C-alpha cells in the first residue's frame, strides 16, 4: 500500500545537516499492523510524518497506492491526508475550544469530495463505539486522557482512512489506559482491516503489533539493541 | 452545499470565538466602529448641509440673475448673512426706469421687480409674520412655483393696482386652517386689505413660502411711496446666455449707478461656491475618518497576529487532518473580516441613532452610499489587514505548528 524507496529527510541546524531519516526503504501492505520502534531521536517520528505525508522527503520516493506522492503539491498532499490518513498523537492534539463532537467532525469540513456518509451520524456512531458518547458536548480539557485519546482515534477514523498512524499513542497515559488504547487500535486493524502503524519507544507496545520495524539513527536496523 | 457548509462553519467558529473573547472583540472592533461612525456621520452631515443649501437654491431657477443693491452675495460678509441684511435694509432701490432699460436686452425672458418688506399678516382667525413681495407674474415662472388653488394675478391687476394677493404655502397654511380655503378670503397687511386670489405650492424657499405676493404697482402709495424696488430678478432662457446677460445688465446699470451701489449675481455662481466649500469640508472630514479607519485596521492586524500565534498548534492540527493552506487562510480572513464588519455595523448603528436624534433640528440623512461605505470599507479593511496574519498562519509548516506549545 505504501512504499518508501531510498527515502532521506535532513534538516539544517544552523550550518549542520542532520539526517533524521537516512536512506530508508520500506513496504507497508494493506491491512498490516506494524510497530515502528526506536529510541527518542532515532528518526521514528520523522519517518511517521513522511509516511503520513505531513512532510516531504529530501530525496527518495514515496509511493502511495502505486502513485508517487513525493512531488505532489501542498494542496494535493492535504487532500490525501484528509481522505486516506488518520493521525493519533501522543499529546492527543485535540482543539480545546471545540467540543468532543466538533473535534471528531473537523476532518469532514476539509473534504474536497462529497462524503458518502452523514458526518454527524458517523461521529455519533464512533463516539458510541468508543464509549464516549455521553462526553460528546464536553470540551477536551474536561475529560480524562484515555477519553481524549479515544476522541482522537474517532477523529482519525471519521473519513474512513486506509491507514492510521499513531505516534506514541500511550505516551501520556497510564499503562492500563494505554493497553485499552492499543487494544482499540488492534481491533480496528483486525475487525475493519484498517492499516495501523504504531510508533513507539516501548518494546512492550511494539510487541503487540504483528510486524516490528526497528529504527536507529535514521536507519532501519535488523534488531533493536 | 459543501461550499456553503464550509463558510458557514468558518463564520460560526469565528462568532463562537468572538463570544468567548467578548472584551477583546469589542475593543478590537472599536477602532473600526469609530472610523465608520465618523465617516458615515460626516457623509450624513455633508449631504444634509448640501441638500439643505441646494434645496434653498433649487427653487430659484438655475438661469437666474439677481440685481441687488450694495455688495450683494459675492462679497462683503458673504452668502446668507448679506442676503438677510439686504432684506432688512431695503437697499438703494431700483425703479421702473431700470426695468425699461433692461427690457431692451433681448436674451432676458423674465424680468421681475421685487419690492420687499416684512410685517404681520392677519387673517380673520390668525396673525402671522410674513413677507410682502411686490412682484409681477414672472416671479412664479422664475421660481418654478405652481398654483395649487385659485389663480395668479394678471397684467391688468398690475396696471390697475388691484388689491389682490397670492400666498405662499406656509403662510396660507398658518393663516387659514386649510390652505385651500384661503382663496376668496381677505388678509390685512400694514393696514391694507388684500383679497387672496391664489395659493402657490411649497417651494422650500423660506421667503417665498412665507410670502404675500401682490402686483408691484399695488405697492405704490402708502406702502412704497418712492416707487422703488429692493431687487430685480432676471430670468434667462438659455444657460449659455447667462454670462452675457449678466455683463450687459452691469453695463446698463453702470450708466445710472456707481459700481459699488449694486451687484449682479449669477445664481449658479453662488451655488458652485457653496458646493466648493462643502466639497472641501467633506474631503477634510472624510480624511479624518479615514485615519481612524486606518488605525482601526492596524488594531485588527495586531490582534490577528496574536490570534495566529495563539492558535499555531490548532493550525498544525487542522493541517494534519487535511486543511489546505487556502482553508487556513480563509479561516483567519473570515475572522478578521467579521471582526471588522462587526465594527462597521456598530458604527453604522451608532450613526443612525445620532442621525435620528439630530434629525428634528437638522436635515441629516444616511443614504445608500453611507451604508455601502460602512460595509465596503470595513470588509476591505478586514481583508487588507487580515491577509498578512492569515498568510502567516497558512504558511506555517504543519509539523512545526503541531509541535508548538
pLDDT of B62 strictly over 60: no
pLDDT of B202 strictly over 70: yes
Q: Looking at residue B283, what is its pLDDT?
A: 80
Confidence of residue B365 (pLDDT cuts 50, 70, 90): confident
Q: Cβ contacts (< 8 Å) between A155 and chain B: which residues?
A: 321
Q: Cβ contacts (< 8 Å) between A159 and chain B: which residues?
A: 322
Judged by a CB distance cut-off of 8 A, whether residue B17 touches chain A is yes
Of B314, B324, B398, the CB nearest to A75: B324
- The alpha-helical segments, DSSP class H, found in chain A are 44-51, 74-84, 100-109, 119-129, 145-157, 175-192, 203-206
How many Cβ contacts (< 8 angstroms) between chains A and B?
65
CA dist B119 and B117 (Å) reads 7
Specify whether B238 is located in the same domain as B117: yes
Q: Which of B161, B101, B172, B92 is nearest to B130 (CA)?
A: B172
Mean pLDDT throughout A28-53? Answer: 92
pLDDT of B92 strictly over 60: no
Q: pTM to 2 decimals?
A: 0.68
Element (H, E) at B149: strand B147-150
Q: Looking at residue B89, what is its pLDDT?
A: 42
A106-110, A184-188, B358-362: range with lowest mean pLDDT: B358-362
Judged by a CB distance cut-off of 8 A, whether residue A191 touches chain B is no
Specify whether B227 is located in the same domain as B293: no
Interface contact B399-A54, CB threshold 8 A: yes
CA dist B255 and B322 (Å) reads 91
Specify whether B307 is located in the same domain as B398: yes
Mean pLDDT throughout B200-220? Answer: 84
Of A94, A97, A107, the CB nearest to B322: A107
Q: Cβ contacts (< 8 Å) between A49 and chain B: which residues?
A: 399
CATH 3.10.20.740 given to domain A31-57+72-221: no
pLDDT of B137 strictly over 60: yes
Specify whether B281 is located in the same domain as B398: yes
Q: Looking at residue B153, what is its pLDDT?
A: 86
Specify whether B323 is located in the same domain as B377: yes
Interface contact B320-A83, CB threshold 8 A: no
Contact between A47 and A21 under an 8 Å Cβ cutoff? The reply is yes
CA dist A119 and A115 (Å) reads 8
The 10s digit of each residue's pLDDT in B385-395 is: 999 999 999 99
Please identify which residue in the block is written with the cell numbers 487562510. B329
Specify whether B387 is located in the same domain as B310: yes
What's the total number of domains in chain B? 2
In a domain, B73, yes or no: no
The 10s digit of each residue's pLDDT in B212-242 is: 999 988 888 888 888 888 888 888 877 778 8
Mutate to test the interface with A, among B320, B402, B404 (most CBs of A within 10 A): B320
The 10s digit of each residue's pLDDT in B333-344 is: 999 999 999 999
Q: Which of A96, A90, A93 is nearest to A172 (CA)?
A: A90
Average pLDDT of chain A?
92
Residue in chain B closest to A78 (alpha carbons) equals B322
CA dist A68 and B93 (Å) reads 100
Of A95, A110, A114, the CB nearest to B327: A110
Interface contact B324-A54, CB threshold 8 A: no
Question: Comparing B278 with B17, which gets the higher pLDDT?
Answer: B17
User: How far B317 CA sits from the closest chain A CA (Å)?
Assistant: 7
In a domain, B248, yes or no: yes
Specify whether B244 is located in the same domain as B317: no
User: How far B400 CA sits from the closest chain A CA (Å)?
Assistant: 10
Q: Cβ contacts (< 8 Å) between A54 and chain B: which residues?
A: 319-320, 398-399, 402
Mean pLDDT throughout B172-180? Answer: 83
Confidence of residue A185 (pLDDT cuts 50, 70, 90): very high
Residue in chain A closest to B10 (alpha carbons) equals A109
Q: Which of B22, B42, B12 is nearest to B364 (CA)?
A: B42
Q: Could you list the residue range(s) of the whole structural domain that residue B168 is in?
A: 93-256
Interface contact A94-B317, CB threshold 8 A: yes
Of A55, A74, A81, the CB nearest to B325: A74
pLDDT of B144 strictly over 50: yes
pLDDT of B349 strictly over 80: yes
Specify whether B126 is located in the same domain as B51: no
Q: Cβ contacts (< 8 Å) between B402 and chain A: which residues?
A: 54, 89, 93
Question: Comparing B37 with B266, which gets the higher pLDDT?
Answer: B37
Mean pLDDT throughout B55-67? Answer: 69
In a domain, B153, yes or no: yes
Domain-wise residue ranges, chain A: 31-57+72-221
In a domain, B138, yes or no: yes
Question: Comparing B225 with B83, which gets the higher pLDDT?
Answer: B225
Q: Looking at residue A149, what is its pLDDT?
A: 95
pLDDT of A96 strictly over 80: yes
Specify whether B320 is located in the same domain as B185: no
| CA pseudo-torsion sign A102, A105, A107, A109 | negative
Judged by a CB distance cut-off of 8 A, whether residue B20 touches chain A is yes
Please identify which residue in the block is written with the cell numbers 505525508. A53
Q: Looking at residue B79, what is its pLDDT?
A: 37
In a domain, B117, yes or no: yes
Percent of chain A with pLDDT over 70: 99
Number of Cβ atoms within 10 Å of the Cβ of A143: 16
Average pLDDT of chain B?
82
Residue in chain B closest to A83 (alpha carbons) equals B322
pLDDT of B87 strictly over 70: no
Confidence of residue A29 (pLDDT cuts 50, 70, 90): very high
Q: Cβ contacts (< 8 Å) between B328 and chain A: which residues?
A: none
Interface contact A89-B402, CB threshold 8 A: yes
pLDDT of B60 strictly over 70: no
Interface contact B322-A81, CB threshold 8 A: yes
Residue in chain A closest to B327 (alpha carbons) equals A110
Interface contact A87-B6, CB threshold 8 A: no
Q: Which of A209, A162, A222, A215 is nearest to A35 (CA)?
A: A209
b/e burial code for range B319-351 (CB count within 10 A of at least 16 → b): bbbbbbbebbbbbbbbbbbbbbbbbbbbbbebb
Question: Comparing B238 with A163, which gets the higher pLDDT?
Answer: A163
Residue in chain A closest to B325 (alpha carbons) equals A75
Q: Write the Ramachandran bin of A68: left for phi over 0, alpha for psi from -120 to 50, otherwise beta.
A: beta
Q: Looking at residue B139, what is its pLDDT?
A: 85
Number of Cβ atoms within 10 Å of the Cβ of B5: 13
Q: Looking at residue A120, what is its pLDDT?
A: 93
Q: Cβ contacts (< 8 Å) between A78 and chain B: which residues?
A: 319, 322-325, 327
Judged by a CB distance cut-off of 8 A, whether residue A107 touches chain B is yes
CA dist A37 and A225 (Å) reads 11
Amino acid at each position: 500500500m505504501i512504499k518508501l524507496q531510498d527515502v532521506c529527510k535532513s534538516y539544517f541546524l544552523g550550518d549542520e545537516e542532520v539526517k533524521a531519516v537516512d536512506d530508508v526503504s520500506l513496504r507497508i501492505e494493506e491491512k498490516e499492523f506494524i510497530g515502528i520502534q526506536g529510541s527518542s531521536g532515532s528518526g521514528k517520528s520523522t519517518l511517521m510524518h513522511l509516511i503520513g505525508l505531513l512532510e516531504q522527503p529530501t530525496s527518495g520516493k514515496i509511493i502511495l497506492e502505486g502513485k508517487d506522492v513525493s512531488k505532489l503539491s501542498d494542496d494535493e498532499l492535504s487532500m490525501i491526508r484528509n481522505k486516506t490518513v488518520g493521525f493519533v498523537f501522543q499529546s492527543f492534539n485535540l482543539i480545546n475550544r471545540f467540543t468532543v463532537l466538533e473535534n471528531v467532525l473537523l476532518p469532514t469540513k476539509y473534504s474536497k469530495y462529497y462524503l458518502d456518509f452523514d458526518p454527524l451520524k458517523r461521529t455519533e456512531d464512533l463516539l458510541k463505539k468508543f464509549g464516549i458518547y455521553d462526553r460528546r458536548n464536553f470540551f477536551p480539557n474536561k475529560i480524562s486522557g484515555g477519553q481524549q485519546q479515544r476522541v482522537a482515534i474517532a477523529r482519525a477514523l471519521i473519513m474512513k482512512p486506509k491507514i492510521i498512524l499513531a505516534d506514541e499513542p500511550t505516551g501520556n497515559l497510564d499503562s492500563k489506559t494505554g493497553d485499552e488504547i492499543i487494544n482499540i487500535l488492534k481491533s480496528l486493524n483486525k475487525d475493519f482491516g484498517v492499516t495501523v502503524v504504531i510508533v513507539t519507544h516501548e518494546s512492550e507496545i511494539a510487541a503487540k503489533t504483528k510486524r516490528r520495524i526497528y529504527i536507529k539513527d535514521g536507519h532501519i536496523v535488523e534488531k533493536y539493541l | 452545499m459543501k461550499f456553503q457548509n464550509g463558510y458557514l462553519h468558518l463564520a460560526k467558529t469565528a462568532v463562537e470565538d468572538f463570544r468567548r473573547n467578548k472584551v477583546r472583540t469589542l475593543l478590537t472592533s472599536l477602532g473600526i466602529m469609530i472610523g465608520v461612525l465618523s465617516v458615515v456621520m460626516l457623509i450624513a452631515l455633508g449631504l444634509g448641509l448640501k441638500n439643505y443649501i441646494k434645496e434653498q437654491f433649487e427653487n430659484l431657477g438655475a438661469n437666474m440673475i439677481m440685481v441687488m443693491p450694495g455688495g450683494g452675495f459675492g462679497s462683503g460678509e458673504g452668502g446668507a448673512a448679506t442676503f438677510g441684511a439686504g432684506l432688512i435694509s431695503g437697499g438703494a432701490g431700483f425703479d421702473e426706469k431700470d426695468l425699461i432699460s433692461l427690457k431692451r436686452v433681448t436674451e432676458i425672458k423674465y424680468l421681475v421687480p421685487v419690492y420687499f418688506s416684512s410685517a404681520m399678516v392677519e387673517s380673520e382667525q390668525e396673525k402671522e409674520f410674513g413677507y410682502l413681495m411686490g412682484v409681477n407674474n414672472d416671479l412664479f415662472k422664475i421660481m418654478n412655483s405652481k398654483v395649487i388653488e385659485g389663480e395668479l394675478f394678471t397684467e391688468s391687476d398690475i396696471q390697475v393696482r388691484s388689491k389682490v394677493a397670492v400666498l405662499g404655502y406656509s403662510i396660507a397654511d398658518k393663516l387659514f386652517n386649510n390652505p385651500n380655503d384661503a382663496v376668496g378670503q381677505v388678509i390685512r397687511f400694514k393696514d391694507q386689505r388684500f383679497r387672496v386670489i391664489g395659493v402657490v405650492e411649497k417651494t422650500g424657499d423660506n421667503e417665498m413660502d412665507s410670502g404675500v405676493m401682490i402686483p408691484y404697482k399695488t405697492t405704490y402709495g402708502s406702502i412704497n411711496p418712492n416707487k422703488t424696488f429692493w431687487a430685480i430678478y432676471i430670468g434667462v432662457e438659455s444657460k449659455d446666455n447667462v454670462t452675457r446677460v449678466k455683463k450687459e445688465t452691469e453695463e446698463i446699470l453702470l450708466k445710472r449707478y456707481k459700481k459699488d451701489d449694486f451687484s449682479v449675481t449669477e445664481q449658479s455662481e453662488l451655488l458652485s461656491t457653496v458646493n466648493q466649500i462643502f466639497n472641501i469640508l467633506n474631503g477634510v472630514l472624510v480624511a479624518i475618518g479615514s485615519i481612524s479607519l486606518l488605525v482601526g485596521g492596524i488594531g485588527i492586524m495586531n490582534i490577528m497576529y496574536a490570534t495566529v500565534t495563539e492558535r499555531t498548534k490548532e493550525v498544525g492540527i487542522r493541517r494534519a487532518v487535511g486543511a489546505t493552506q487556502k482553508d487556513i487562510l480563509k479561516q483567519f480572513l473570515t475572522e478578521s473580516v467579521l471582526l471588522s464588519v462587526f465594527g462597521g455595523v456598530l458604527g453604522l448603528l451608532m450613526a443612525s441613532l445620532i442621525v435620528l436624534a439630530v434629525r428634528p433640528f437638522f436635515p441629516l440623512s444616511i443614504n445608500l452610499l453611507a451604508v455601502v461605505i460602512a460595509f465596503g470599507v470595513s470588509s476591505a479593511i478586514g481583508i487588507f489587514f487580515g491577509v498578512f496574519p492569515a498568510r502567516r498562519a497558512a504558511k506555517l509548516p504543519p509539523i512545526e505548528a503541531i509541535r508548538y506549545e
